[in-house]
Each structure stands twice: as structure tokens, then as C-alpha cells.
Structure 1
Amino acid sequence: MVRSALESPPEAASLRAAILKIWLSSLLPRYWFVPFLAGILLMPNGGVAQEQSCCDPTGPFRPGEGYADEPATCETIGTWVDRAPQTDARITLSIVGPLSAVEFDGTLAYLVMCEQPGVQVMCVTYSTNGMQPGNVVLFGGGYKRVGDQQVMLDPCLASVSSQN
């Protein structure tokens, strides 16, 4: 059998497992191992705790992929982005307002809401769905601040708002 230079022999995996077992057993006496492991497994998950304290219930941010009951607007987005949750977890921003630009590169659609000099929000999605500048739309997507006056929602869903 020919083995590539990047493959390790099967004995190496069992040797690594044995070394790890010895190393772990030397760190903690045997009677500590089960409570220690149980403690690790039962530690509060930072993501779960973050979800509970993540977002102002009256604000436009939600943990994960949830939509806010009250989306931001072009008038309020400037204050909300300064109070965005500081987390590495997925945060969704909901915002409603008129489109200021619509671009499609053949693969992705870039929908921009709100006018400069205020905060602009770009929704990265797969289709323009016939949306044009001036249409009032609702964005919901993964929040990322990419500049002082720029926010990107990726991935993002855009739909024509009932305010149209």
C-alpha cells in the first residue's frame, strides 16, 4: 500500500489518543474527572446567555435570525448602530425605508437603503425581485458594521413593505 507524505500511519492516531489520555489523567485525579467534565458540560453557554441579554426588546436587533417587532428606519438607524450588541454571534437587524440604489452583478443583488450623509444599509441577496430605487422595503439580515456610515446585512432578505 502506498501512503502519501501527508497521511499518518494508523498507529499514530492510537498513540495520540494514548498520550492525550495519560496527559488528562495526570492533570486531575480520577475522582475529580467526572465532576470536572460535568461542570464543563453544564457551564452556561455564552451564546445562550447572550441571546437572553443581547438585544433591547424595543430595538431592531435580534439574536440569530429573528425579526424585530419594530424595525429601525433611516431616521433612527444612526442611533441604533451606535448601540448595536457587541458579539461574535449572529445578530439580525430589521430596517424599513426607501431604496436609494439597486445593483445586480448577475449573481448577487445589492440593495441600498437610506441616503448619505446618514448611515446607509446594504442588503446582499440573490435577486432584486423587481425592486427599484424609491420603493419602501423591509430588510432583515445578518448585521455587520463595515464603516462609520455603512452597515451590511449578509445574508439578507428584502421584501416590499406594506408602507409602499
Structure 2
Amino acid sequence: MRASGVFRGFAPTALALALLLAAATEPLAQECCDPAGPFRLGEGYADQPATCETIGDWVERAPQVDARVTMSVRGALSAVDSDGALAYLVMCAEPDVRVLCVTYSTNDMQPGDVVLFAGGYSRVGEEQVMLDPCLASRE
């Protein structure tokens, strides 16, 4: 079967692009993330998420790369809110660094529930981290 005009040449081009991206991100992965830490390049859960007790140390060592970085955090929810379109889940309380998970549903989670967050890392203040978009699951 011959490829139509739209798809002709797609496979070799896609393969070349995939190889190029893999080669470009390999050095970033080495620069990015401590394997024992809560950060991952791109998308993914870390094997060892941060906790409310350790997050302060980890955010001081956050990867300084020009690429998407995901952070994983495990702990008890301190606040849950929704505006009808988005849900806002907060983990940790002062004096710890607080973590805001921006997601689409509270999934009936309540303050005190132990959850795992993983999402796009952004430091938004001295004592605040935002994970957006973020996945949250009960532990």
C-alpha cells in the first residue's frame, strides 16, 4: 500500500524528529534531576517524592533547566477548594513550603487526606510552589 500525499514521508520525518529530541534531552536529563529527588524532566512520578518535611530543602535545589520539570510530593491535604472549573488542593502548612496542585476535580478529597501530587513545577514565592497541571491521587 502506498502512502497518500499527506502521509508520504511522515514515518522517516517522525523517526528523525524522535531521534533528535532523544539526543537533545539526554544531556538535560543528566543535568536536571537527582535520581533520589522529587524532580523529573518532562512528565513522570519520582520514585522518592518530597514530603512537607523535606520540600524546603528540595526547592532550594530545584533544577535550573529550560525545560518542563515535574515534581512529586506526598503528604496530607491542608486545604481543598474549587471554583467550578478548576480544583485547588493545598498540601503542607506554615512553616513548611506550601504546595498548590491545580487540577480539574477535588475527587471528594478532604483536608487531612494523604495524597500524592505530581505536576509541572513552578516556584511562585519564597514559601509557595505551584504544580500546574497536576495529578492528585489518594495514597
Is the structural similarity TM-score above 0.5?
yes
Structure showing the higher helix proportion among its residues: 1
1:117 Cα deviation from its structure 2 partner:
2.0
1:51 Cα deviation from its structure 2 partner:
1.5
Question: Hey, what does 1:142 align to over in structure 2?
Answer: 120
User: Could you give the per-residue CA deviations for residues 27-85 of structure 1, whole angstroms, max 9, x where no partner exists?
Assistant: xxxxxxxxxxxxxx8xx63x431122210010000110021101110000000000000
Aligned length: 118
Higher relative contact order (CA 8 A, sep 6+): 2
Structure 1 stretches lacking a partner, 5+ long:
1-40
**4+ residue runs of structure 1 moved beyond 6 angstroms?**
none
Distance 2:115 2:78 in 1: 11
Question: Hey, what does 1:124 align to over in structure 2?
Answer: 102
Amino acid at match of 2:137: S
Find out whether 1:80 has 2:51 as its counterpart: no
Of residues 99, 102, 105, the one that matches 2:77 is 99
Distance 1:69 1:88 in 2: 23
2:117 alignment partner, SS class: strand
1:52 alignment partner, SS class: helix
Please, what TM-score do these two structures have when normalized by structure 1?
0.69
Structure showing the higher strand proportion among its residues: 2
Structure 2 stretches lacking a partner, 5+ long:
1-19
Distance 2:29 2:44 in 1: 11
Question: Hey, what does 1:112 align to over in structure 2?
Answer: 90
1:116 Cα deviation from its structure 2 partner:
1.0
**Alignment root-mean-square deviation, CA:** 1.2
Of residues 44, 53, 68, the one that matches 1:66 is 44
User: Could you give the per-residue CA deviations for residues 94-136 of structure 1, whole angstroms, max 9, x where no partner exists?
Assistant: 0000000000000000000001121000000000000000000
Query: Quick one: percent identity of the two aligned structures?
Result: 70
User: Could you give the per-residue CA deviations for residues 131-162 of structure 1, whole angstroms, max 9, x where no partner exists?
Assistant: 0000000000000000000000000000001x
Question: Hey, what does 1:9 align to over in structure 2?
Answer: none
